[in-house]
């Protein structure tokens, strides 16, 4: 997303005058809507899967965190956040779930790369890390 030179200069001056308020306005203008978009895309990933549900749990203003339920069973947590111009998605083991998560770095993309296709690939990548330690397969 390219800003025109006037917008860039306005941002520079706003940040110079009050960095705290500028960062808050910038977050409301950029990161806030992008986190909302990530949430929307994540939920849409499972629209055709009535056996999958994302239940928001443990989220903050800067982090969206969901427990993934499959057949109403709590399986893992899926987290989404923004950092240094990148959107990140990761999976983690949760309490009271027998399912384990293989270690790996979060999946990430630049802000302008966030779309349905990226979310689908990112979700497939993190879900592939989840396994049942009691299963004979794998």
| List of domains in the chain | 5-131 (3.10.110)
Sign, Cα dihedral of 101, 110, 27, 34: negative
- Render each residue's pLDDT in the chain as its tens digit; 138 residues: 566 899 889 999 999 999 999 989 988 888 899 999 999 999 999 999 999 999 999 988 889 999 999 999 999 999 999 999 999 999 999 998 999 999 999 999 999 999 999 999 999 999 999 999 887 655
- In this prediction the pTM is 0.83
For 27-54, letters b (16+ CB in 10 Å) and e give beeebeebbebbbebbeebeeeeeebbb
Helix (H, G, I), strand (E, B), or coil: what is residue 95?
A: coil
So what's the pLDDT on residue 136?
A: 63
């Amino acid at each position: 997303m390219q800003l025109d030179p006037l917008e860039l200069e306005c941002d520079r001056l706003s940040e110079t005058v009050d960095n705290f308020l500028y960062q808050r306005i910038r977050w409301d203008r950029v990161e806030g809507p992008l986190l909302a978009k990530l949430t929307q895309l994540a939920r849409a990933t499972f629209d055709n899967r009535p056996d999958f549900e994302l239940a928001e749990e443990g989220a903050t203003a800067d982090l969206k965190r969901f427990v993934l339920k499959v057949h109403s069973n709590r399986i893992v947590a899926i987290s989404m956040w923004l950092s240094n111009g990148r959107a990140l998605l990761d999976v983690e083991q949760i309490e009271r779930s027998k399912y384990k998560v293989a270690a790996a770095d979060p999946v990430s993309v630049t802000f302008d790369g966030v779309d349905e296709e990226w979310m689908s690939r990112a979700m497939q990548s993190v879900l592939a890390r989840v396994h049942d330690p009691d299963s004979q397969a794998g």
